[in-house]
Amino acid sequence: MTPFAAARLDAAVLARQHRRNMLRSLAVLGGIGAWMALVGWLVAGGAGILWAVLGAVLVLLIQPIRSTTLLAALYGAVPVDPAQAPGLYSMGAELARRAGLAEVPPLLFIPRNELIALSTGWGREGAVAVSDGLLRALGGRELAAVLAHETSHLRAGDLKLLRLAEAAGRLTRTLALFGLVMILLYLPAEEVMGGVPVAALLLLVLAPLVSDLLGLTLSRTREFEADRGAVELTGDPDGLISALMRIDTLQEGGWERLRRRGRKGWLQLIRTHPTTEERVERLRELAPAPPPRWLALPEVLVMPGLMGMAPSRRPWWRRHR
């Protein structure tokens, strides 16, 4: 089967998952913004809300470090020349074309044994990187699904959304810390205990934690949407299911085992990605169901050994005479 084997996908399920992911993303982003505004209002009233909004906008206006430069610094990633890996490069180019990207994002190679696949940047600054360990572990069909997942992130501008959420989280932490310092340094102890509502103090203390949890929720939601987008690009949900299960098996142990214990508990809240089981469950909704294999009526009538039954030596109507 080719890496881009087309499957009969259910358009209604694709659309339903897309709506669910988008609505959840908008709700979480709204929650992050509202939480930041609330903390700003507690600290400085209307001016605090204005500072928070202007700070978030300023972060988005500042251009990030060039993606290829950042990946080279963090992982030692090097650009892949088309002549070095023509199959891999053509795979990425075809996915970029299907995704409607203006340019083919640079493909980088990470010389590490870990299973790493990531995308960074957005627009013309987007890039995709894969590690040596991942290339050795996955087959062509699975690798196409993983590249499609990362391409889907670039198409949706997910890094920009996550960067906005991170900026809001940092501003929320800064405002909360500023408010607590102001309360503790400039108000007498008796006024702190009697004049400041306990709920306001508790909110300022918990503000960073709540903001971080909302950011992680957004990250998991965008992973679901990237999975759906990958299937839309390749038409092959089984390829991504196979890749996820293989990666999950190879990464067994250590922190991954600890995270497995938290699938149903509080550790679930601090994951950046959904569990493999959750992702596979949603992907199976997109996988086409096999058509029923009905046995033709004449074939039933002429098959004496059907269901393992031995053929009778005399007609059934004489069997009990």
Q: Which letter does DSSP use for residue 320 in this model?
A: T
Q: What is the mean pLDDT of each run of 10 residues along the chain (321 residues)?
A: 56 90 94 90 82 77 70 87 88 94 91 92 86 92 95 92 88 88 68 62 88 94 96 93 93 59 64 91 80 49 44 49 50
Q: Which alpha helices (DSSP H) does the chain contain, by range? A: 11-44, 46-61, 67-75, 86-99, 132-137, 140-156, 158-186, 189-195, 198-234, 237-250, 255-261, 276-286, 297-301
d(CA 130, CA 110) in angstroms, rounded, equals: 6
Domain parsing of the chain, residue ranges: 11-286
Would you give the end-to-end CA distance of the chain in angstroms? 58
- Rg over alpha carbons for the chain, rounded to the nearest Å, is 27
CB neighbours of residue 173 within 10 Å: 17
Residue 2's pLDDT is 46
Q: What pLDDT is attached to residue 314?
A: 52
Between CA 99 and CA 229 the distance in angstroms is 9
What is the H or E stretch that residue 118 is in? strand 117-120
- How many Å apart are CA 275 and CA 295, to the nearest integer? 40
Question: C-alpha distances in angstroms, 263 versus 17, 142, 213, 279, 280?
Answer: 22, 25, 16, 12, 14
Predicted pLDDT at 58: 78
pLDDT at 304: 45
